[in-house]
Amino acid sequence: MTSQSWWTTWRTSIAAELFCIDLSPNESCESEAIMWLDEDEQERWKTQSSPSRRREFVLGRAAVRQIICKRLKVRNDQLTFLHNEHGKPRIRVNKRRVSWQFNMSHSQPYGLLALVNGLKVGVDIEVRKPRDDFDAMARVVFTTPERRCLVGLSDKQKRCQFYRMWCIKEALIKGIGKGFSINPHTIEIPETMLKGAKSGLWQTADQNGNISSWRMADLSQPNFAASVAVEDKGVVENVCL
Ligand SMILES: CC(C)(COP(=O)(O)OP(=O)(O)OC[C@H]1O[C@@H](n2cnc3c(N)ncnc32)[C@H](O)[C@@H]1OP(=O)(O)O)[C@@H](O)C(=O)NCCC(=O)NCCS
């Protein structure tokens, strides 16, 4: 199978290797990509709600497979994904879980994959589409200090700040992997990041007082907002922002 180049290595940030995936229409890449999916994924591909969703799914999943195969030096037929009860996939090689973890996100025409060894990871990418319900959405997902950051901004600045904060929070939620069961108000974006810092640390304690820490990085670019969150176990990692 020949590899097509609809994905590329981007950079490393807070221990995560990041890859950009081009999800724009490309017939030859799509027909190559479909061959990388296993039977379950091909069924999922067929049930996607629109041609654009089908394209995003197939190009995204096949790129994830190609990147993992290359990085972990395994064959595609050795690779399967195990999903937790909230749908977050984990890598299995020869039906066994491995230490490598990944997360991916799509926002037409961009896909972003983060790959990390030994730590949980979450990633989110959003094209800054205009919408007329920023304030209503902000009440649903942002805390009072977060919403304060949107006050007094021009429409363009508000859109930028909204998507920046959305991605930071969503990357963390995706890293934790419990989806909609997490109330976004229980996650407060670190104050330093609200003030514009490109990276930050988020900590929380469970009922037994066990602290869990996450490092976050804002990866936003002119064409999209994006963020990555990596579990922090106190290991010294390469930081490259
Ligand atoms: C999947 C979910 C986590 C993100 O959905 P989304 O933003 O539409 O989709 P993205 O493109 O960013 O990510 C989809 C990918 O994340 C992965 N994923 C699926 N469920 C996941 C989960 N529970 N946790 C982390 N990753 C998940 C999959 O790889 C999926 O790709 P696939 O469809 O090709 O299999 C969503 O179901 C969810 O729970 N979101 C709610 C979180 C929330 O309250 N956000 C408020 C905003 S701050």
| Confidence (pTM) | 0.93
Q: Which residues line ligand 1 (CB under 6 A)?
A: 57, 60-61, 86-89, 103-106, 122, 124, 141, 166, 169-170, 173-174, 177, 179-180, 184
CATH number of the 7-118 domain: 3.90.470.20
Question: Any idea which residue has 């020949």 for tokens?
Answer: 2
Fold observed for domain 124-232: Ribosomal Protein L22; Chain A (3.90.470)
Protein residue with least CA distance to atom 38, ligand 1:
179
pLDDT given for residue 5 in this prediction: 85
How big is the chain, counted in residues?
241
Atom index in ligand 1 nearest the CA of residue 166 equals 48
pLDDT given for residue 180 in this prediction: 84
Q: How confident is the model at residue 23 (pLDDT cuts 50, 70, 90)?
A: very high
Residue 241 near residue 217 (C-beta atoms within 8 A): yes
Residue 216: CB atoms within 10 A of its CB come to 28
Distance CA(126)–CA(37), nearest Å, equals 25
pLDDT given for residue 173 in this prediction: 96
pLDDT given for residue 210 in this prediction: 86
pLDDT in tens, 189-238: 999 999 999 999 999 888 888 888 999 999 999 999 999 999 998 744 44
Residue 21 near residue 60 (C-beta atoms within 8 A): yes
So where are the chain's domains?
7-118, 124-232
> What phi and psi, each to the nearest 5 degrees, are found at residue 201?
-120, 135
Mean pLDDT of 57-80: 97
pLDDT given for residue 221 in this prediction: 97
pLDDT given for residue 47 in this prediction: 96
> 189 CB contacts (<8 Å, ≥6 apart)?
146, 165, 168, 169, 200, 202
Structure token digits, residue 189: 């974006």
Atom index in ligand 1 nearest the CA of residue 174 equals 25
Mean pLDDT for the chain overall: 93
pLDDT surpasses 70 at 79: yes
Phi/psi zone of residue 110: left (φ > 0), alpha (ψ -120 to 50 degrees), beta? beta
pLDDT given for residue 240 in this prediction: 38
Q: Which of 173, 178, 181, 189 to mutate to test the pocket of ligand 1 (most atoms within 8 A of CB)?
A: 173
Residue 190 near residue 202 (C-beta atoms within 8 A): yes
pLDDT surpasses 50 at 7: yes
pLDDT surpasses 70 at 147: yes
Distance CA(53)–CA(240), nearest Å, equals 33
pLDDT given for residue 178 in this prediction: 94
Residue 109: CB atoms within 10 A of its CB come to 18
Mean pLDDT of 166-194: 95
pLDDT given for residue 4 in this prediction: 53
